[in-house]
Amino acid sequence: MRARHPVALAATLAVAAAASAGLAGTSLTKLISGPTPIDDHPAGVGTQAASFEVTVRVTDVVDGDTVGVQTRDGRDLGRVSLLGIDAPETAYGSEPADCYGDAATELLARLTPPDSTVTLAADPGQSDRDVYGRLLR
């Protein structure tokens, strides 16, 4: 059995509260962090994120804290792990979904449906990518 993340439910509830408060049209960046910049041309794991924001198109919602994105000109940026959100895991391989994992994914899909536009921002105190190669924004 996978370890549960105690922050996951709180993060999921915070995003749900923002959605129910009528903030669904607000950029994802403003829902999960203050406006901090990112680099449109990401570097490797362990490097510091650069200094500007980028607006992207959501291509898919992977789970409750990860989305696929591409630039407005169609360049694939891959998957983005959302900083400050630690959603319960969804089913993977033979592992079942964690409690509320599917609900977290559905909520993120309502907030950032495919083809929607979001502004991503880095945390200058964090690495640019995680150990799985996902952008951290």
* Top-level class of domain 6-136: mainly beta
Close Cβ partners of 17 (under 8 Å, ≥ 6 residues apart): none
Number of Cβ within a 10 Å radius of residue 106:
12
The predicted-structure confidence for 57-108, as pLDDT tens digits, reads as follows 999 999 999 999 999 999 999 999 999 999 999 999 999 999 999 999 999 9
Which run of H or of E encompasses 11?
Answer: helix 6-18
Encoded tokens for 129: 């990518």
Q: For residue 7, what is the enclosing H or E element? A: helix 6-18
pTM higher than 0.85: no
pLDDT digits (tens, 9 = 90+) for 10-28: 444 455 445 444 444 444 4
